[in-house]
C-alpha cells in the first residue's frame, strides 16, 4: 500500500485510468465478437472505428489495431462479402504529417 500522499494520488489516478481503458478495450472486443458472429459491412466499420480509437488513445499499439482491422476484413471476405473502400482508412503511421524543419539563424555577435 502506498504511504506518501503522492503515491496515494498516483494509485487513485491509475485505477480511474484503468477503468476507462477497460471500457474502450471491451468495446473493441465486443465489436470484433459481433463481426465474428455475423460478418457485415456495418460490423466491419464498427471494428475499424473502435480499433482506431483505441490506438489513438494509446490503449492499443498501432500495429495491434491494424492487425485487428485486418482480421475483421479477412472474416468479411471469407464469408463472401466485399470490403467497401469507404471503410478503409489510412493507417495511423501514414496519416501523420511530416514535420517541416526550419533552420534557426544564429545571431551575429561582435567582439570588440
DSSP string, 56-102: HTTSS-HHHHHHHHHHHHHHHHHTT----TTT----HHHHSPPPPP-
Question: What are the pLDDT digits (tens) for 6-57?
Answer: 999 999 999 999 999 999 999 999 999 999 999 899 999 999 999 999 999 9
Domain boundaries, the chain: 13-83
pLDDT at 79: 81
Please provide the average confidence, as pLDDT, over all residues in the chain: 85
d(CA 62, CA 65): 5
**13-83, which class in CATH?**
mainly alpha
pLDDT at 27: 96
d(CA 48, CA 38): 15
- At 22, is the secondary structure helix, strand, or coil? helix
Amino acid at each position: 500500500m502506498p504511504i506518501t500522499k503522492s503515491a496515494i494520488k498516483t494509485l487513485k489516478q491509475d485505477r480511474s485510468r484503468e477503468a476507462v481503458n477497460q471500457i474502450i478495450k471491451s468495446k473493441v472486443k465486443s465489436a470484433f465478437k459481433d463481426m465474428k458472429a455475423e460478418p457485415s459491412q456495418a460490423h466491419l466499420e464498427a471494428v475499424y472505428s473502435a480499433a482506431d480509437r483505441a490506438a489513438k488513445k494509446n490503449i492499443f499499439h498501432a500495429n495491434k489495431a491494424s492487425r485487428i482491422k485486418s482480421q475483421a476484413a479477412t472474416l468479411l471476405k471469407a464469408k463472401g462479402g466485399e470490403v467497401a473502400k469507404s471503410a478503409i482508412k489510412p493507417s495511423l503511421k501514414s496519416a501523420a504529417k511530416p514535420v517541416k524543419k526550419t533552420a534557426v539563424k544564429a545571431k551575429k555577435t561582435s567582439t570588440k
